[in-house]
Structure 1
Amino acid sequence: MPTLTFVSVLRPPRAANSCPSIQLTVLQTKPRRGELISHRWYMPVELLGSSYELTSLVRYQSISKYTSIASAVVLLHETFVNFADEVDLIWRQRLTVGKVLYLTSRYLAFIDLSIMLLYLCDPRLELKTCHRLYVTTIYFTLVGAVNAELVLIIRVYAIWKQSFCILIFLVTLSSVLIITNLLNFNIHNSLKTLTFVPSPVPVIIPCFLTSDDIRAFVGFGCLVLMDLIVLILTAWCGYRFWREDASSPLITTFYRDGVLYFVCLFAISTANVVMFIVGDPQQQGILVELQRVLHSVLSARIILNLRKFAVANEEESPVNVTLTTAIFGELLSDSSPFTAHSTRPVLDEDGAGNLDLLPTSHGAV
């Protein structure tokens, strides 16, 4: 990795009616060749505030870039590790609600993460392109968050034995939070009014946003509230099932994993809210892509793990498969009443076939 050295000098105004400017020199040393490359830019003080603010901006922008790259590595690793199971349990199955949610959760993240990396890393970007990429990333992040939360809502609805009251509560809450986010974008900051100026250091900061009153903490606050409610409902229902059947490995595995997943999502959402409220402007947004990737990874894992468990336990313990269907039917169900390795129908508590998250026969398209 090249070594960067920053040298900033305050230059007096050249004319009576002009303002002082900061001369920033970036010395880039390549590790192997030992070459020293100098980049120099001038920026009005009124845009940057001070050389200290510029140095902080460059530092935190670099951290944000590295965090996004690390998030991409996590997403790629998760995809490669689970690809064989994904082919068997997702791609070869019929088109169902669970399959659509899995594919959108998994692969939409690649699109907006790629856009964000382009926004953070390409020094040739024009100002209009910066604006378009920034707005596109915001909308993709919103869609991805809604998709991930939908998986969590269906899961909670299923483990509560498809309670109509729970469904109405979660749908109403989600609708209110989505509308709040949209109003926040339109009232406090129309995305079209965001202002980008030529970056003082395009090698490090391709897109320089002068102000950001988008109040993103409102959106992340909504996610915190939703994740907290999902966590409470999951833990509460898990405790009830544990008391009824503490020896069931299905109950132990799914509720343990579910609570751990939701704790992770709640923690990263809370961290983002704290960063946007009490952090410096340069620190805001450092964890955004990491949260986006975690929502994608964990929501996809929920569906994949359910299908893996159902297939693995079908021959060994039909009771576990029946219990899986009864609890997680909405995520496992399919129009076919048969599982991947058996022609034996699996019935839910009411005696009706309900296999929304379970994989169908391998011959299905």
Structure 2
Amino acid sequence: MSVAEVESYLQISECAIIAAAALLAFDYYLTFGKEVEWIYGTRWTASRIHFVSLRYLPFVAIAMAIPASRVQPPSEADYCDSLGLATNVVYYLCIVLAEAMLIVRTYVFWKCNRRILIGMVSFGSMCMVAAIVVSQTISSQTINPVYKSLNCPGSDSSSATAIAYLCLILYEIGMLGLNWIAFRRMKRHNSPGPLITTLYRDGVMYVAAILAFSVLNAVVSLATPPSNGHAQYSCLTHFL
């Protein structure tokens, strides 16, 4: 692969990060007022720590990703250094926090049913392990030409990312099903007011939106050339 092609991939990576940062900032602007109204001034509970981590950790990931992506080939010190690895760890930690938020919402909708909680955690853990094992297996068998040109021990991030998102999609379909069942049970056995109905309906729509993002990310990862920028963009858009 020529230096010009590698530079093109790296520019795509940087543009993807900037685009995701713009989406994240816009989402923050739209919801900051509600955050001040409902979160500020409350006690620091586990739920608040979870929310604040999920809310602000993506900005840390953005701050780490931009310098990590600004590299000129050939390079093996900048692109594959500890900053790049730490950035990926932060990305995937954000995804885990976002999926944990789904578990919390679903757990509440099922009136804190412990069997449902154990089932969700077990199913989520199995999907996560499957995503890691399968994607790492594929990664060890294919070489990303961009990473090879940068003298990195990288692999075909497109295939690995797509497989990881397929496992994530399976998990989110299960979450969507549980939220839909809880919504139907609530309407069948109770006479809820408009506030409760809206809460449950919006919960289903929230899970459906996250599922749609995962499907979009999986499709884009298969349709685009292999580049680290897509992985970064996917992770950032996932927890908007």
Unaligned runs of 5+ in 2: none
> Structure 1 residue 70: deviation in Å?
2.2
**8 Å Cα contact 1:115-1:137 kept in structure 2:** yes
Pair 1:163-2:113 in alignment: yes
Query: C-alpha separation between the residues in 2 aligned to 1:159 and 1:286?
Result: 36
Deviation of 1:170 after TM superposition, in Å, equals 0.6
CA distances 1:26-79 after superposition (whole Å, capped 9, x unpaired): xxxxxxxxxxxxxxxxxxxxx349x8xx39x82x65444333212212222332
Q: How does 1:128-277 map to 2 (within 5 A)?
A: 128-132=77-81, 133-184=83-134, 187=137, 189=139, 196=147, 212-213=155-156, 215-245=160-190, 248-276=193-221
Q: Which residue of 1 aligns with 2:59?
A: 110
- Please list every run of at least 4 consecutive aligned residues from structure 1 whose deviation after the TM superposition is greater than 4 angstroms: 60-64, 122-126, 184-190, 193-199, 208-211, 284-287
* Deviation, structure 1 residue 267: 1.5
**Alignment RMSD, CA only?**
3.4
Query: Normalising by structure 2, what TM-score?
Result: 0.79
| Kept after mapping to 1: 8 A contact 2:135/2:163 | no
Q: Residue 225 of structure 2 aligns to which amino acid in structure 1?
A: P
Alpha-carbon shift at residue 93 of structure 1 (Å): 1.6
Cα pair distance change 1:124/1:227, threshold 3 Å = same
Shift of 1:221: 1.7
Q: How far 1:145 moved relative to its partner?
A: 1.0
- Name the CA shift for 1:275/1:80 in 2 (closer, same or farther; >3 Å): closer
* Aligned partners of 1:196 and 1:209 also within 8 Å: yes
Structure 1 counterpart of 2:50, which letter?
L
- The equivalent residue for 1:82 is 31
Q: Which residue of 1 aligns with 2:223?
A: 279
Kindly indicate whether the alpha-carbon contact (under 8 Å) linking 1:227 and 1:262 is maintained by their aligned counterparts in 2.
Answer: yes
For each residue in 1:153-192, what CA deviation from the matched residue of structure 2 results, as whole angstroms up to 9, or x when unmatched? Answer: 01111101122221121111122223334435665547xx
CA shift, 1:228, in A, is 1.2
Mapped partners of 1:84, 1:151: distance in 2? 20
8 Å contact from structure 1 (residues 265, 294) kept in 2: no
Query: Could you tell me which amino acid in structure 2 is paired with residue 166 of structure 1?
Result: I
List alignment gaps of at least 5 residues for structure 1.
1-46, 200-207, 298-365
Higher helix share: 2
1:66 pairs with 2:34: no
Q: Partners in 2 of 1:290 and 1:235 — Cα distance?
A: 29
Q: 2:44 aligns to what SS in structure 1? A: coil
User: How many pairs does the alignment contain?
Assistant: 234
CA distance in 2, matches of 1:72, 1:113: 7
Structure 1 pair 268–84 and aligned structure 2 pair: CA distance change class (3 A) = closer
Of 292, 313, 316 in structure 1, the residue corresponding to residue 235 of structure 2 is 292
How many Å apart are 1:217 and its aligned residue? 2.3
Bigger CA radius of gyration: 1
- Rounded Cα–Cα distance in structure 2 between residues aligned with 1:288 and 1:63: 11
Task: Look up the SS of the partner of 2:195 in the other structure.
Answer: helix
* TM-score (normalizing by structure 1): 0.55
CA separation in 2, counterparts of 1:230 and 1:116?
Answer: 30
CA distance in 2 between counterparts of 1:83 and 1:124 reads 40
Structure (1 or 2) with the greater strand fraction: 1
- Aligned-partner Cα distance in 2 for 1:233–1:242: 14
Which amino acid is 1:212 matched to? Answer: S
**Per the alignment, in what secondary structure is the counterpart of residue 112 of structure 2?**
coil
- Which segment drifts farther, 80-89 or 230-239? 80-89
Q: Deviations over 1:113-160 (max 9, x none)?
A: 222222334549952221134322322222111111111101111101
